[in-house]
Structure 1
């Protein structure tokens, strides 16, 4: 039986962030929209009982229920044995927290919510991509990539010398960005970010989590 259950679809970038943390720390886990053997639909009263803000993922650990991806990742870091994914010194840990917050808000909004979702789940007439929305969103994606490109110069990871919670937040959204046409063209101007994604994909956790997604039809 899994130690924890992650409520949410495995294609979600935030669900994948939590999965990466589980793999990095060796935490047995399960993933899906089933809770105690019953399917729970997003936006349903049953799901809102788990998270009143009606967002995924939700972590179930025994009798405990926890939402918000960064809080979940920090809980898993502290509650389970395994490699440290938060540095021990105050300054470096604060930098990881800084990046987690920025990635979960500004970067996710720019890269995933406003850009990638329009390409993957288009809402135009007859299910077509709204090209005007894509063009409007692209400059902010490029700006975020420039920030990441600067941070990754001469680094293997976003903060410090090893994989941290910040990398778990960054990896899924950048992996999707690099792999989704025409979004991948934005990554061509960000060689540090592209090399970073390849490094994270090559880790055991990346090989397990950063796989081609199965999207609902």
Structure 2
């Protein structure tokens, strides 16, 4: 049994959960709320000194950092492969993973989704200046990803990869904002992929409550 430590609301935890679901691996989600008063418990910091989620424990092996977890899940277990076999395909997958972590997450999730959707829901005002300043970078991210979408049902063509598992949680949240709806119209291949991917069982199984 695999223990995956984290919170269902986290896009990174959901990414790891999607990979586990696609591989057909049994796991349990061990709740860790990084936003709880006082932060994550000391027992979790023993697994990940940075206090970020997710972290994974498989028997006596522990691991943190999402991309490392994704690759471990794919390579350590039987099930459909989630990484391309050829070097070019793996490099393209890694490129998408890097774009998502380096450029998409902060801009799409925190600067737009959290400001436009989460803060007003909690009774706090949105940072309109911050949202406006994030539109340009968001448009750049979406255009770059749209340019990399290949023909087929998945980001890299006919086979689902870790890139799909990593991109879907971020873009699904982004789409909940008015800005996300508008900007995704300018990335038609990416938008079509997102609509199709949201019908997969792994997406439904990992929806936050």
Q: Please give the TM-score of this superposition, normalised by the length of structure 1.
A: 0.85
SS in 1 for 2:178: coil
SS in 2 for 1:60: strand
Change (3 A) 1:204 1:188: same
Match of 1:194 in 2: 191
Structure 1, gaps ≥5 residues long: none
Match of 1:132 in 2: 129
Partners of 2:113 and 2:170 in 1: CA distance: 9
Match of 2:19 in 1: 21
Q: Please give the TM-score of this superposition, normalised by the length of structure 2.
A: 0.88
Contact 1:92 1:160 (C-alpha < 8 Å) held by counterparts: no
Kindly indicate whether residue 86 of structure 2 is the aligned counterpart of residue 112 of structure 1. no
SS in 2 for 1:72: helix
Change (3 A) 1:153 1:96: closer
Question: For 1:67-216, what aligned pairs fall within 5 Å after superposition?
Answer: 67-122=64-119, 127-152=124-149, 154-209=151-206, 211=207, 213-214=208-209
Structure 2, gaps ≥5 residues long: none
Partners of 2:146 and 2:99 in 1: CA distance: 15
SS in 2 for 1:186: helix
Match of 2:8 in 1: 10
Shift of 1:170: 0.5
Shift of 1:105: 2.0
In the comparison of the two structures, how many residue pairs are matched? 204
Change (3 A) 1:134 1:206: same
Deviates more, 1:105-114 or 1:169-178: 105-114
Partners of 2:117 and 2:48 in 1: CA distance: 25
Partners of 2:176 and 2:150 in 1: CA distance: 22
